Amino acid sequence: METGGSLPHATRKPTLTPKAIIHQKYGNKASYKVEEVEEPAQNGCPGLAILQKGPCLYRCTLELPEFSVTSESFKKKKDAEQSAAQMALDKLGIRPSADNPTAEEAWTDLIARIEYIFSNEFLSALHPLSGHLKAALGRVGDLNGSVPASVIAICDGKPNNLCKIINPKMDSQPFLVISYIMRAATRLPELVVGPEGQLSIRRKNPYPPDLIESILSQESGVAENVTTMAIYIPCSTEKPVEPVILNISSSSYYLDVIAQKLGLSDANKVLISRTIGKASSETRFYLAAPKSFPIDIPSDHLNDKALKFGEPLNARASYICGQNIYGDSILASIGYTWKSQDLFHEDVTLQSYYRMVISKIPSGLYKLSREAILAAELPLTFTTRTNWKGSFPREILCSFCRQHRLLEPVFSISTIPTKASSELSRSSKKLKVSESADQDTEYADGDDTVYAGAKSVGLASSFSCEVKLYSKSQDLILVCAPNVLYKKQNDAVQNASLKVLSWLNAYFKDTDMPLEKLKQLASVFDINFYPQNFIKEVVSCLSVNSFQHSETFGGKPESNGNNILNGVVEDAESSIDTEGLDSGVCPSNGSLLCVCYSVSLVTKDKLQKELLESAEEFEFEIGTGAVITSMEAIGSQMSVGQSACFHTELPPQDLVLAAAKDSPSALALLSSPCCLEYSIILLRLTEPPEDRMEQALFSPPLSKQRVEYAVQHIKDSCATSLVDFGCGSGSLLESLLDYPTSLETIVGVDISQKSLSRAAKVLHSKLTMNSDPDAPSRGIKSAVLYDGSITDFDSRLCGFDLGTCLEVIEHMEEEQACMFGDVVLSSFRPRVLIVSTPNYEYNVILQGSNITSQEDDPEEKVQSQSCKFRNHDHKFEWTREQFNHWASNLAVRHNYTVKFSGVGGSADVEPGFASQIAVFRRVVLPEEENLQEHKDLECKYNVIWKWNRSNPALTD
Ligand SMILES: C[S@@+](CC[C@H](N)C(=O)[O-])C[C@H]1O[C@@H](n2cnc3c(N)ncnc32)[C@H](O)[C@@H]1O
Ligand SMILES: [Mg+2]
């Protein structure tokens, strides 16, 4: 199934429907509204008290950025839509390529079109070009009535399409359309072309006076003086890009004003680029035409070398435009439109110029969609739809393709039937898919993951998605085919799109990357690309950008390509300055942080400061790289209500200027050494569904019940030493300090330094601040936190009385969890080990509560309920049987006994406990009595923090 517009074989010329052509041109900017039209009933039944309807007919209104059209009534909705699309094409002068006129016919049509444009009738037509025709009548002297040929090329679609038939190479040299237009005009005796050096056409005979009079009377009082801002982009990259003001009086022609800013006498010497940005945009580049512009050369000589610009390529302008621009140029947003008779104009500021620069690359597009140029980053992963902020990967990929003049991406979805996915056994982990029997397909991690072991649940189906990018000429550029199944079609599409974006982004950040490296990277993202086509379509627009690293992307050479657009964070954490009380909640991956932030440009001496970017509320998911690294690192160590301030090195100058509202003052500051100052306040923390469920559904919350469960075992076993495997931010260790126990030594191990540093803060303050001799924690003599993986052995933790490992194993791959089981019981050998993990069977109850479902689409909610993990960081969740099997085998292998229990719910009521617990007890063997001394010293872990009651000053 294809959702992105179907594409036949790349070599065959497609016969596109009118709707498909509109889609190619406008994408989702074209909106179809179908309404029912009631026809009176023909063979009605008289006297029947039920309202009788005639056959139902449909009418379609197609809204395009420039205008809208409404079709006649049709029996079928799709006919109404096609008809509306055809009407729009007619209006735009676009002829479906299906009727394939010959070059000869196209010539005849072109001449007829030019004749029509200069006819009396056209002058009062509602067409952007008629605005120019009228304005030309106001030009003075020799220029009176002369229309620049370049405006015909940009305002009327028809000549462009006809020229493409005459010379298919036209796309690479769009300015050549002007030659054809002028050549066509020379064939018309009523028109005058030139003189030499002027790209203009005029009528030999003036328009009839009454026509002119009626036109003038329509316009009376409408025309006003216009002042608008444009951008001057010198050809030499040594010279800065600068704003220019266009002052257009009511009696002047705006193109003449632009020409003068380019140092030309008038608009008849100006070339105009295609539009930039959104479909309805009037933003274009203006540049001087080459001195000798070919007007009448035989068509077989017309090739891309026919135009000889005396000026060198304008690299900056060409980069944004995607079309070669030569010499100095002006970027302005001004022109006549379909919408109104008046001249449309909009300021192009320096800020908007820099936004165009960054919009060429995926991370720039993402930053713009979040309105957070400096803070946001294109996330590395797509976890859930609700946690994704800003434009979705698919949308960004579509914009990217439009930006780079590629076809809309083609998405192909494969649906894997229910049977194949539900028959899988959990332990095999890999799934053979019938369609691609020789490839292994892995299930995706994430909260919408298909649970392969869900034998009992009725899965609808699962999806994988393949994305293809094609050039405008339908050459395949790349295929991304991730071998991952998703339960929702949308997730498959978004994840595949994100892979393509991530790869493209990596390339754009380091365009000097050797081809080999680019290929390697592609395979990481499941991408196969066709280097020749990729270079032709995507890289060629960059090849003109030798300035890219030194100028556009930062003003300083990058030592490490990875930092372009990321900014370099230097010691952000060491200069962190937090204020406010620590609430004790440490966000984990999958949490959403909501911050209020501002970023200012400050001089290194901190004397001058300029606000660049701010947001009252800005939400991002922890652990996905959705914001710059320092913001994520610092934000995730903060508590709600706390504020922090930190500094980072200056990111590339383009980013600063794309964010700066006041470019001149930002530029002034940038002339001295600067850095960025971030201030953030943590407003809210939305924990992943698992935690929210546990808090909302259990009283006391499950986490507290687990702590109490551990305390009971400490009491029962008179344990003096405890090690918490996967201690996270120390919630168990901290809570234990509130109970009077026999514990003297407590130790925590985790691989997350972020969590450990929070654990250290909390334990430190609780142990040292509490000088009360009756404090329950008085018995604790030492506490240590280690950074290390619990699948590694470290002899310092050998033979402890009690080991705990609460809600950790499901965060590791299954093989890792099994490895931990073996290491802990064979080498660490605690007297008692308590392991807890979610009971998968209990999810039905949790999900029935609706707390997990944050999806806004009710259909998807229903689909996803039956087989969702509690947290998208979970690599697996076990049923009671699976857990029993694992724990019992483990115990037997290592001389332990095991008993099963749990918290939340009850053992006797289906489906058992919410959190299932196994308690292992060592069967003491005589040779094990002095366990610790027998072992060789093996120190794999790093001490992160250490505390000693006898000498608290020794604390690390
Ligand atoms: C859900 S948290 C549980 C934290 C804590 N046990 C509790 O109950 O609050 C899971 C923790 O396991 C840790 N973890 C995952 N894999 C690990 C590994 N191989 N070694 C050590 N810790 C690990 C994670 O860093 C995370 O802090
Ligand atoms: Mg968990």
Q: Whose CA is nearest to atom 10 of ligand 1?
A: 808
The separation between CA 557 and the C-alpha centre of its own chain, rounded to angstroms, equals: 27
E strand or H helix at 785: strand 782-787
Tens digits of per-residue pLDDT, 236-291?
989 999 999 999 988 889 999 999 999 999 999 999 998 987 767 899 999 999 88
**Average pLDDT for residues 458-463, to the nearest whole number?**
65
**Average pLDDT for residues 491-505, to the nearest whole number?**
95
Per-residue confidence (pLDDT) for residue 543, from 0 to 100: 42
Distance CA 773, CA 752 (A): 33
Q: Please tell me the distance between residue 478's alpha carbon and the centre of ligand 2 in angstroms.
A: 38
Closest ligand 1 atom number to CA of residue 811: 15
E strand or H helix at 477: strand 476-480
Whose CA is closest to 827, among 904, 907, 913, 723?
723
- Parallel, antiparallel, or unpaired: how do β-strands 431-432 and 440-443 relate? antiparallel
Q: Which CATH number fits domain 18-95: 3.30.160.20, 2.40.30.110, 3.30.360.10, 3.20.20.70?
A: 3.30.160.20
Residues 432, 440: contact at Cβ < 8 Å?
Answer: yes
Tens digits of per-residue pLDDT, 741-765?
999 999 999 998 888 988 998 899 8
Percentages of the chain per state (helix, strand, coil), in multiples of 5 = 35, 20, 40
369 has a pLDDT exceeding 90:
yes
Tens digits of per-residue pLDDT, 867-891?
467 777 788 999 999 999 999 999 9
ipTM value for the complex: 0.99
Q: How confident is the model at residue 403 (pLDDT cuts 50, 70, 90)?
A: confident
Q: How confident is the model at residue 339 (pLDDT cuts 50, 70, 90)?
A: confident
Cα dihedral: 24, 26, 27, 31 (round 10): -130
Distance CA 953, CA 947 (A): 8
Question: Of residues 307 and 598, which shows the higher confidence score?
Answer: 598
200 has a pLDDT exceeding 70:
yes
Nearest ligand to the C-alpha of residue 731? 1
Cα dihedral: 898, 902, 907, 911 (round 10): -120
Distance CA 352, CA 658 (A): 7
Tens digits of per-residue pLDDT, 662-707?
999 999 999 999 999 999 999 988 877 777 677 777 888 888 898 8
Residues 16, 96: contact at Cβ < 8 Å?
Answer: yes
Q: Please tell me the distance between residue 902's alpha carbon and the centre of ligand 1 in angstroms.
A: 19
**Average pLDDT for residues 776-796, to the nearest whole number?**
93
Q: What is the CATH superfamily name and number for domain 700-954?
A: Vaccinia Virus protein VP39 (3.40.50.150)
Distance CA 365, CA 629 (A): 19
Q: Please tell me the distance between residue 728's alpha carbon and the centre of ligand 1 in angstroms.
A: 5
Q: Please tell me the distance between residue 806's alpha carbon and the centre of ligand 1 in angstroms.
A: 8
Whose CA is closest to 302, among 163, 404, 188?
163
Q: Please tell me the distance between residue 876's alpha carbon and the centre of ligand 2 in angstroms.
A: 10
Cα dihedral: 119, 123, 129, 131 (round 10): 150
Ligand 1: residue of 691, 811, 814 to mutate (most ligand atoms within 8 A of CB) is: 811
**Average pLDDT for residues 899-905, to the nearest whole number?**
93
Nearest ligand to the C-alpha of residue 588? 1
**Average pLDDT for residues 192-210, to the nearest whole number?**
88
Per-residue confidence (pLDDT) for residue 268, from 0 to 100: 92
Per-residue confidence (pLDDT) for residue 932, from 0 to 100: 52
Tokens of 68: 């809208």
Task: Return the DSSP state at 421.
Answer: H
Per-residue confidence (pLDDT) for residue 861, from 0 to 100: 37
Whose CA is closest to 98, among 10, 167, 180, 165?
165
Q: Please tell me the distance between residue 750's alpha carbon and the centre of ligand 1 in angstroms.
A: 6
Q: At residue 415, what are phi and psi to the nearest 5 degrees?
A: -105, 125
Closest ligand 1 atom number to CA of residue 731: 9
837 has a pLDDT exceeding 90:
yes
Whose CA is closest to 127, among 31, 119, 187?
119
Farthest CA pair distance, the chain: 118
Distance CA 633, CA 747 (A): 24
Tokens of 952: 């608290």
499 has a pLDDT exceeding 80:
yes
Per-residue confidence (pLDDT) for residue 221, from 0 to 100: 47
Residues with CB under 6 A from ligand 1: 726-728, 731-732, 749-752, 755, 789-791, 806-808, 811-812
Q: Please tell me the distance between residue 909's alpha carbon and the centre of ligand 2 in angstroms.
A: 23
Closest ligand 1 atom number to CA of residue 816: 19
859 has a pLDDT exceeding 60:
no
770 has a pLDDT exceeding 70:
no
Closest ligand 1 atom number to CA of residue 690: 1
**Average pLDDT for residues 68-91, to the nearest whole number?**
89
Residues 329, 311: contact at Cβ < 8 Å?
Answer: no
Tens digits of per-residue pLDDT, 904-947?
888 888 899 999 999 999 997 776 655 555 557 889 999 999 99
Tokens of 816: 């890792």
308 has a pLDDT exceeding 70:
yes
Q: Please tell me the distance between residue 454's alpha carbon and the centre of ligand 1 in angstroms.
A: 25
Task: Return the DSSP state at 326.
Answer: B
Q: Whose CA is nearest to atom 4 of ligand 1?
A: 728
* Residue 561: CB atoms within 10 Å: 16
Q: One-letter amino acid identity for 926?
A: P
Per-residue confidence (pLDDT) for residue 459, from 0 to 100: 45
Distance CA 875, CA 462 (A): 18
Q: At residue 549, what are phi and psi to the nearest 5 degrees?
A: -75, -40
Q: Please tell me the distance between residue 500's alpha carbon and the centre of ligand 1 in angstroms.
A: 31
Closest ligand 1 atom number to CA of residue 871: 1
Q: Please tell me the distance between residue 592's alpha carbon and the centre of ligand 1 in angstroms.
A: 19
Per-residue confidence (pLDDT) for residue 24, from 0 to 100: 76
Residues 409, 468: contact at Cβ < 8 Å?
Answer: yes
Distance CA 628, CA 626 (A): 7
* Residue 756: CB atoms within 10 Å: 24
Q: For domain 577-687, which architecture applies?
A: Roll (3.10)
Helix 128-137 and helix 254-261: axis angle, to 10°?
80
Q: Please tell me the distance between residue 727's alpha carbon and the centre of ligand 1 in angstroms.
A: 6
Closest ligand 1 atom number to CA of residue 706: 8
Distance CA 355, CA 375 (A): 15
Q: Which residue has the tokens 């290390």?
A: 788
Ligand 1: residue of 585, 703, 751 to mutate (most ligand atoms within 8 A of CB) is: 751
Lowest pLDDT segment from 163-177, 219-233, 926-940 = 926-940
Distance CA 4, CA 313 (A): 35
Q: Please tell me the distance between residue 932's alpha carbon and the centre of ligand 1 in angstroms.
A: 25
Residues 143, 195: contact at Cβ < 8 Å?
Answer: no
Q: Whose CA is nearest to atom 14 of ligand 1?
A: 726
Q: Helix (H, G, I), strand (E, B), or coil: what is residue 643?
A: strand
Q: Please tell me the distance between residue 690's alpha carbon and the centre of ligand 2 in angstroms.
A: 7
Q: Whose CA is nearest to atom 25 of ligand 1?
A: 752
**Average pLDDT for residues 119-130, to the nearest whole number?**
88
Residues 390, 859: contact at Cβ < 8 Å?
Answer: no
Residues 612, 368: contact at Cβ < 8 Å?
Answer: no
Residues 837, 806: contact at Cβ < 8 Å?
Answer: no
122 has a pLDDT exceeding 60:
yes
Nearest ligand to the C-alpha of residue 805? 1
Closest ligand 1 atom number to CA of residue 752: 25
- Percent of residues, the chain, with pLDDT higher than 70: 79
Distance CA 49, CA 891 (A): 79
Nearest ligand to the C-alpha of residue 734? 1
Beta bridge partners of 201: 147, 193
Distance CA 304, CA 269 (A): 20
644 has a pLDDT exceeding 60:
yes
Q: Helix (H, G, I), strand (E, B), or coil: what is residue 454?
A: coil
Per-residue confidence (pLDDT) for residue 880, from 0 to 100: 96
Output the CA–CA distances (angstroms, integers) from residue 272 to 138, 308, 440, 797, in the order listed. Answer: 21, 16, 53, 74
Residues 706, 724: contact at Cβ < 8 Å?
Answer: no
Domain boundaries, the chain: 18-95, 99-295+306-348, 378-542, 577-687, 700-954
Nearest ligand to the C-alpha of residue 914? 2
Closest ligand 1 atom number to CA of residue 724: 6
Ligand 1: residue of 707, 735, 808 to mutate (most ligand atoms within 8 A of CB) is: 808
Residues 656, 670: contact at Cβ < 8 Å?
Answer: yes
**Average pLDDT for residues 698-726, to the nearest whole number?**
89
Closest ligand 1 atom number to CA of residue 836: 8
Q: What is the DSSP string of 385-408?
A: TTT--SS-HHHHHHHHHHHTTBPP
Nearest ligand to the C-alpha of residue 701? 1
Mean model confidence pLDDT for the chain: 81
Distance CA 866, CA 97 (A): 49
**Average pLDDT for residues 837-864, to the nearest whole number?**
59
E strand or H helix at 489: helix 489-509
Q: Please tell me the distance between residue 807's alpha carbon and the centre of ligand 2 in angstroms.
A: 5
Cα dihedral: 44, 47, 51, 53 (round 10): 0
Closest ligand 1 atom number to CA of residue 755: 27
Q: What is the DSSP string of 703-714?
A: HHHHHHHHHHHH
Distance CA 760, CA 136 (A): 76
Question: Of residues 409 and 309, which shows the higher confidence score?
Answer: 409
Output the CA–CA distances (angstroms, integers) from residue 521 to 483, 502, 527, 562, in the order listed. Answer: 16, 10, 8, 13
Closest ligand 1 atom number to CA of residue 703: 8
Whose CA is closest to 709, among 916, 472, 857, 436?
916
Nearest ligand to the C-alpha of residue 871? 2
Per-residue confidence (pLDDT) for residue 638, from 0 to 100: 84
Q: One-letter amino acid identity for 777?
A: S
Per-residue confidence (pLDDT) for residue 704, from 0 to 100: 85
Q: How confident is the model at residue 1 (pLDDT cuts 50, 70, 90)?
A: very low
Q: How confident is the model at residue 647 (pLDDT cuts 50, 70, 90)?
A: very high
Nearest ligand to the C-alpha of residue 730? 1
